[in-house]
A and B are shown apart, each in its own frame.
Chain A
Amino acid sequence: MAYKTIIEDEIDILVAGAGLGGTGAAFEARYWGKNKKIVIAEKANIMRSGAVAQGLYAINCYMGTRFGENNPEDHVRYARIDLMGMVREDLAFDMARHVDSTVHNFEEWGLPIMRNEKKGSYLREGRWQIMIHGESYKPIVAEAAKKSADKVFNRVCITHLLMDDSKENRVAGAVGFNVRTGNYHVFKSKTVICGAGGASNIFKPRSVGEGAGRVWYAPWSSGSAYGLMIEAGAKMTQMENRIVLARFKDGYGPVGAYFLHLKTYTQNAYGEEYESKWFPALQEMVGKEYLDPEVSHRTHRPIPTCLRNHAIISEVNAGRGPIHMVTMEAFQDPHLEEIGWHNFLGMTVGQAVLWAATDVDPKYENPELTTSEPYVMGSHATGCGAWCSGPEDVSPPEYYWGYNRMTTVEGLFGAGDAVGGTPHAFSSGSFTEGRLAAKAACKYIDDGKGEGIVVSDKQIADLKEKIYKPLETHRVYSNEVVAGSVNPNFINPRQGLDRLQKLMDEYCGGFGVNYMTNDKLLNIGLKKMYLLGQDLEKVAASDIHELLRAWELKHRFLTSESVFHHTLFRKETRWPGYYYRGDAMKLDDENWHVLTVSRRDPKTGEYTMEKAPLYHLVGDIEKAAPEGH
């Protein structure tokens, strides 16, 4: 295997993975680093990569301070209640106070944002969401990133971060391979902004066979944000906080515009409202502070996403499924009907394909909903990711170590799914986080923090051997058998993925066990994960494409292992409807009103877990709340 080694040296800012977070980073970095060398490495093509590749029909995070709509702290309060209290409020506030400037830039670049003709403001889908014609959202922002970057390496999959050989715990760049040529790419860089993605396909999906790709989050979101950073020894937070989505069945078409704009609603199979009857028992589990339908009704405080899932799951288990979205009323209005279809075509074409294939016309039939398999990510209604420093003027001491969005590894920054504790960032917030990380990375370099980095030839050579090992394994052992995929010496990436998904589903609270787990199941699961980890040393790839799948699998594995440890650590059921700890079925604020933080020792693979204090923004609303709340 004579793959060339291609070294890109003297990079200042390497953007590893360029979805919305990474493009935001590359774009902004040029402003603060006029003469800095900015390089993007992306495993696909930045014009259509990341979770927004397909487009979006809404921007879900926009304050509208310009139109007097919301302040940043209002959004923090929303994220706080939606995530059952577990948010890095410094990071969330920081993102929210900048996000509008991002959106106003997007509009200037040509992103079509719908207007409310009467008010002159953007057309609101809900309190935080604005509606867009976003088919070309990604190519538009990618164009801006391309203009800022010195070089864009499309089709280079980053597999590992490089570490400084002269100073412990400092990043030195990254390595990977070109998925077309197979060549080995070495990026020596003073800083790395990890814009890689969260994780789909780590829990067994509901769809089988060909449909396994119709996951809610993009199938190419391989948990690389977490895989890369965990392996480098960065601390992670809230990795137990996986998300389950209530979506249109099979196609996983979005429901946001349906609920908020089209005013559709749900009912059980027998046409009954079902949600409220589950709330008294649920209130026993989580406490009145988190679920108070009366207050929600009065003040429009949202019912947390997970709790609404809980009602669906419970109703289906009680034998009154499926849950339907009542579209037949709204769709009588031809304008709303058109929006309903546009909404899918703009971001989940597969749902339109499915309704066309099954003759489901929502004008005459109320489509089915379902709860999805869980996903691990950090920008939707969930906050998995790295433990990052916040901004100087907002963060308390425990959350601040000098550079905004820098992880606990020096010089390694995060954006989008990579940053933990910042749910509800969505596309615009992820791009904004990239911008914040880029400014901070430039400052880190200007402060001289990236000087004197040493990367030994040995580190480069060792990583090269490691990257291509699956090809070597295949070359050595494949001819031992006549033909076929069964070999006693190795597994292929698909076989490994199947095992991971089954394991996560059965032991870590997937849909197959109604999202239930406990300490015993998690410990058994971890034992099996250990064995899978050993087998992944023997994963084999027959070609470069399969090598890509092999490394995606390894990133998914590292993500999953972290999810196991975090889920075991948090001994409570914080998010009923996302998952349940059968051995601790209540929310426990006395012991667990904290953020969970983990670190995997890069040398030994051992995990250590700790609790980090939870800070909240306190303003007039909080001061007026009852004592102790």
Chain B
Amino acid sequence: MPTFVYMTRCDGCGECVDICPSDIMHIDKTLRRAYNIEPNMCWECYSCVKACPHQAIDVRGYADFAPLGHSVRVIRDEDKGTIAWRIKFRNGKKDMELLAPITTKPWGSATPKLADEPAPSKEMRDSELLFNEPKYIRMDEGGLHTLESNGLTIKKGVYY
């Protein structure tokens, strides 16, 4: 099913080509617009649909099991931090709009730059701890779980 591209909406910008995880959105050399070159390697993941600035890409369900006449459209907005869906049934009886958040922070602002974090001590290096640990494990002062702390041994044999 694959994705397909509306001739009159596509301007050949290549955003879909850039994002497709399956490398199947390519630019047609004659028409200078994008198209799906390998529908049977399309996962209907909608990455290209979401990335297209002109809503030029849509999905028509896999021909081997999905009848024609349905629609699942989407607008993903990083500035608003939302994704909006509209699902329309083939028989027209269901027409649903669904909205979900995609992030709780201004887009791209909250991921840390670890190069700027203070360097870990030797003690930390020699421990089993990772970045932000032990704090982030339980968000308190507790330590990392070990076999000893949890009253465990590791043994050969058949145990259930």
CB within 8 Å of A: which B74-105 residues:
74, 76, 83, 85, 87-91, 93-94, 96, 98, 100-105
**Chain A interface mostly:** helix
Residue of A nearest to B71 (CB): A356
Report yes or no: A66 in contact with B139, Cβ–Cβ below 8 A.
yes
The answer to the question of A110 belonging to the interface, with a C-beta cut-off of 8 Å to chain B, is: yes
User: What residues of chain A lie closer than 8 Å to B83, measured between beta carbons?
Assistant: 135-136, 345
Report yes or no: B155 in contact with A213, Cβ–Cβ below 8 A.
no
Taking a contact as CB atoms closer than 8 A, the residue among A28, A618, A622 that contacts B130 in the complex is A28
A364 to B138, CA, bound (A): 43
User: What residues of chain A lie closer than 8 Å to B94, measured between beta carbons?
Assistant: 356, 359, 361
User: What residues of chain A lie closer than 8 Å to B134, measured between beta carbons?
Assistant: 101
User: What residues of chain B lie closer than 8 Å to A617, measured between beta carbons?
Assistant: 147, 152-154
Binds B, one of A139-147, A229-237, A457-465: A139-147
Task: Give the shortest distance, in Å, between A295 (CB) and chain B (any CB).
Answer: 10
Report yes or no: B159 in contact with A109, Cβ–Cβ below 8 A.
no
Report yes or no: B131 in contact with A28, Cβ–Cβ below 8 A.
yes
CB 8 Å contact bits of A43-75 with B (1 = contact, 0 = none) = 111011110011000000000011000011100
Task: Give the shortest distance, in Å, between B138 (CB) and chain A (any CB).
Answer: 4
Residue of B nearest to A287 (CB): B160
Taking a contact as CB atoms closer than 8 A, the residue among A98, A135, A392 that contacts B76 in the complex is A135
Task: Give the shortest distance, in Å, between A139 (CB) and chain B (any CB).
Answer: 8
Report yes or no: B145 in contact with A97, Cβ–Cβ below 8 A.
yes
Report yes or no: A140 in contact with B103, Cβ–Cβ below 8 A.
yes
**Chain B interface mostly:** loop
Report yes or no: A54 in contact with B104, Cβ–Cβ below 8 A.
no
CB within 8 Å of A: which B101-118 residues:
101-105, 107-115, 117
Report yes or no: B154 in contact with A89, Cβ–Cβ below 8 A.
yes
A573 to B64, CA, bound (A): 34
Taking a contact as CB atoms closer than 8 A, the residue among B21, B26, B138, B160 that contacts A625 in the complex is B160
Report yes or no: A53 in contact with B64, Cβ–Cβ below 8 A.
no
User: What residues of chain A lie closer than 8 Å to B107, measured between beta carbons?
Assistant: 110
Residue of A nearest to B131 (CB): A31
The answer to the question of A454 belonging to the interface, with a C-beta cut-off of 8 Å to chain B, is: no
Report yes or no: A54 in contact with B111, Cβ–Cβ below 8 A.
no
Chain B contributes a number of interface residues (CB within 8 A of A) equal to: 92
The answer to the question of A582 belonging to the interface, with a C-beta cut-off of 8 Å to chain B, is: no
Taking a contact as CB atoms closer than 8 A, the residue among B71, B104, B160 that contacts A110 in the complex is B104
Task: Give the shortest distance, in Å, between A614 (CB) and chain B (any CB).
Answer: 7
A89 to B158, CA, bound (A): 13
Taking a contact as CB atoms closer than 8 A, the residue among B22, B131, B158 that contacts A219 in the complex is B22
Report yes or no: A393 in contact with B71, Cβ–Cβ below 8 A.
no
Task: Give the shortest distance, in Å, between B142 (CB) and chain A (any CB).
Answer: 8
Residue of B nearest to A619 (CB): B152
Report yes or no: A361 in contact with B93, Cβ–Cβ below 8 A.
yes
The answer to the question of B43 belonging to the interface, with a C-beta cut-off of 8 Å to chain A, is: yes
Report yes or no: B154 in contact with A615, Cβ–Cβ below 8 A.
yes
The answer to the question of A300 belonging to the interface, with a C-beta cut-off of 8 Å to chain B, is: no
Report yes or no: A350 in contact with B44, Cβ–Cβ below 8 A.
yes
Residue pairs across A and B with Cβ atoms less than 8 A apart, 6 shown, are: A109-B105, A209-B62, A218-B21, A342-B100, A349-B72, A619-B151
Residues of B within 8 A of A (CB): 1-2, 18-23, 26, 37-47, 59, 61-72, 74, 76, 83, 85, 87-91, 93-94, 96, 98, 100-105, 107-115, 117, 119-120, 125, 128, 130-140, 144-147, 150-160
Other A-B pairs, 18, CB within 8 Å; known A104-B136, A250-B62, A345-B83: A44-B23, A50-B21, A65-B138, A71-B150, A73-B145, A93-B152, A133-B102, A136-B83, A213-B22, A250-B65, A290-B160, A352-B72, A353-B72, A356-B90, A358-B67, A359-B90, A436-B130, A616-B158
